[in-house]
Amino acid sequence: MAYKDEKLNEEKVFKDPVHRYVHVRDRVIWDLIGTREFQRLRRIKQLGTTYLTFHGAEHSRFSHSLGVYEIVRRILVNFEDRPTWNREERLLCLCAGLLHDLGHGPFSHTFEKVFKLDHEEFTRAIILGDTQVNQILTRVGKEFPQKVADVINKTYHDKLVVSLISSQIDADRMDYLQRDAYFTGVSYGHFDMERILRVMRPLEDQVVIKESGMHAVEDYIMSRYQMYWQVYFHPVTRSADVILTKILHRVKELYHEGYTFRVQPVPFISFFEEDVSLSDYIHLDEGVVLYYFQMWEEEADPILRDLADRFVNRRLFKYTEFNPNLQMKDWMELYQLFRDVDLDPEYYLVVDSSSDLPYDFYRPGEEEERLPIHLLMPNQELKELSRQSDIVEGISGKKRTDHKLYFPRDAIEQLADDRPEKEKIKRILYR
């Protein structure tokens, strides 16, 4: 039997708190899960620094990736007897679902910004490069690794396949919303996925939703909206991200200045040099990063030492509402005051902005084109979701941005009371 068709003698199941069970019958999927590149995802948290706000959020990208695979598998079971579905692509969809986040590194988004990396590029590199994952995919077929990479990259010719993994209602989002809600313990983020899976239909190059399932989809869109503002953009998590970013900036700066570290940060050097090989990238996981943060608590450089201590022991920055468009004068005044009291404003006075678009209809040519969700009406016509749902119309196309100014309140409180700057800083920051 061809490798791609091989089944395990006995089905393997993973116990999963969100989907109850993840079922594996295909030999290829089982083999991929066993690779070192996939196992590495156990050592990368799904929500980065969110565990410093919601202590339950310690779940890994490994569990999310298995979850996405499982949702894709369930969608495909429902599609199996539909003439519009090309069954040949089943294994491709399963592999793309399983491997879609393979290139995420430790505290992904922060690392990407500081070291100018792109996790999607690393996902492609792991799938196409000299890796165990690539060996397995190549056994399926010579072209197969490229196909999997194309689906994840959204360039695969069959857009129906792409939309299962990335669209406004896809297996990726359906998993992370429920999983992140479960592990953070918030009451948002839950929706009736079973119902949505039952009303999904393959139609030409997209997945459409039977009109009778509209309310389940409304619930899903609202849960995404709530999760963004209640969990993903939580101001305390952003404080931890700000500190993480500043630690990385500081070590990078010290490295380039020729500073002598107490313990050479060997796994970071190619990141500082911005010349990161695939093997360097794969070796840096969150265990390694947190080890160095603890080492840096003992460094001679006071800024690095303080920031590392803040991160490890959760002494986060406080924040205040801040509008960078209206409060530039305050900003400049604070910047100077911070310098006067020896708090380097480059590290201790940080504006962070977050924004999200909860749902959008199609606007061709825009920076980030989003495929709309289509309802299949009883008369077989297609209708864009926000034209039928008042709730979705209410939030669609509306981008909300939130700006906050972060600062170490404890350090300001510790300034001597007779310093005139202390009162001035407090007057601007605490009003």
Q: What residue ranges bind Zn ion (CB under 5 A)? A: 101, 172
- Identity of the residue, 60 or 78, whose beta carbon is nearer to Zn ion in the bound complex: 60
Instruction: Give min distance, CB of 292 to Zn ion, in A.
Output: 26
User: Nearest to residue 262, comparing CAs of 224, 304, 290?
Assistant: 304
Select 79 or 176, whichever has its Cβ closest to Zn ion: 176
Cα 413 from Cα 426, distance rounded (Å)? 9
Residue 123 Cβ, how far from Zn ion at the closest point, in Å? Answer: 10
DSSP string, 178-195: HHHHHHHT-S-S---HHH
Instruction: Report the C-alpha dihedral over residues 332, 337, 342, 346, rounded to 10 degrees.
Output: -20
The smaller minimum CB distance to Zn ion, of residues 104 and 383, is found at 104
Task: Give min distance, CB of 179 to Zn ion, in A.
Answer: 10
In whole angstroms, how close is the CB of 183 to Zn ion at the nearest point?
14
- The nearest distance, CB 5 to Zn ion, in angstroms, is 27
> Do 41 and 103 meet the contact criterion of CB atoms below 8 Å apart?
no
Name the token pair of 86: 């090309």
For Zn ion, the closer CB: 176 or 317: 176
Residue 179 or 252: the one with the smaller Cβ distance to Zn ion is: 179
Pick between residue 172 and residue 352 the one whose CB is nearest to Zn ion: 172
Rounded to a whole number of angstroms, the minimum distance from the CB of residue 64 to Zn ion is 6
C-beta separation of 396 from 358 below 8 A: yes
CA neighbours closer than 13 Å in the CB half-sphere of residue 199: 21
For Zn ion, give the closer residue by CB, 37 or 101: 101
Give the nearest distance from C-beta 70 to Zn ion in angstroms.
13
Least separation in angstroms between CB 1 and Zn ion: 32
As measured in angstroms, the least distance from the Cβ of 197 to Zn ion is: 18
Name beta bridge partners: 24.
12
Token representation of residue 313: 């022991």
Euclidean distance between CA atoms 336 and 421, whole angstroms: 10
Closest CA to 288 of 153, 163, 35, 111: 111
Rounded Cα distance, 304 and 255, in Å = 12
- 10 Å Cβ neighbour count for 64? 25
| CB nearer Zn ion, residue 221 or residue 429 | 221
> Which residues, other chains included, contact 87 with Cβ-Cβ below 8 Å and sequence gap of 6+?
80
The Cα–Cα gap between 267 and 274 comes to 12
Q: How far is CA 188 from CA 199, 232, 305, in A?
A: 22, 12, 37
Is the CB of 101 or the CB of 120 nearer to Zn ion? 101
Minimum CB separation of residue 101 from Zn ion in Å reads 4
Residue 31 or 172: the one with the smaller Cβ distance to Zn ion is 172
Provide, rounded to whole angstroms, the least separation between the CB of residue 106 and Zn ion: 16
Nearer to Zn ion, 66 or 140 (CB): 66
Q: CA–CA separation, 94 vs 22, rounded Å?
A: 12
d(C-alpha 65, C-alpha 390), whole Å: 33
Q: Which amino acid is at 194?
A: E
Pairing of strands 206-210, 200-203: antiparallel
* DSSP class per residue in 238-307: HHHHHHHHHHHHHHHHHHHHT---SS--GGGHHHHTT---HHHHHH--HHHHHHHHHHHTT-SSHHHHHH
Length of the chain in residues, anyone? 431
